[in-house]
């Protein structure tokens, strides 16, 4: 429920920014971003609005995140 509320409140662009800016919070942000795809229809709709599929495809380039991001696509 909390992840769904966070998605509706705009966390997705913030998580993506942590990745793109190579933030020290990158690993945490990516973990949350990957969990979003499995949370609810609402979170998937929010991901779609913020180009979530493109983001997950970009994660396929990261060795550590390949398996998790592959499951999201």
- What is the structure's pLDDT at 41? 92
Q: Is 52 left (phi over 0), alpha (psi -120 to 50) or beta?
A: alpha
Q: How far apart (Å, rounded) are the C-alpha atoms in residues 69 and 16?
A: 13
Task: Give this prediction's pTM.
Answer: 0.81
pLDDT recorded at residue 17? 95
Q: Which tens digit of pLDDT belongs to each residue from 23-50?
A: 899 889 988 988 888 889 999 999 999 9
Share of the chain above pLDDT 70, in %: 89
Averaging pLDDT over each range in 5-9, 57-61, 64-68, which range is the top one?
5-9
Compute the C-alpha angle 67/28/64, nearest 5°. 25
Q: Residue 20 to residues 2, 14, 28, 31: CA-CA distances in angstroms?
A: 24, 10, 13, 15
């Amino acid at each position: 429920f909390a992840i769904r509320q966070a998605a509706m409140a705009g966390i997705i662009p913030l998580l993506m920014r942590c990745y793109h800016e190579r933030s020290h919070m990158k690993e945490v942000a990516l973990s949350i971003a990957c969990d979003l795809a499995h949370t609810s229809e609402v979170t998937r709709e929010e991901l779609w609005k913020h180009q979530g599929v493109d983001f997950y495809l970009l994660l396929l380039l990261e060795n550590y995140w390949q398996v998790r991001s592959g499951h999201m696509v």
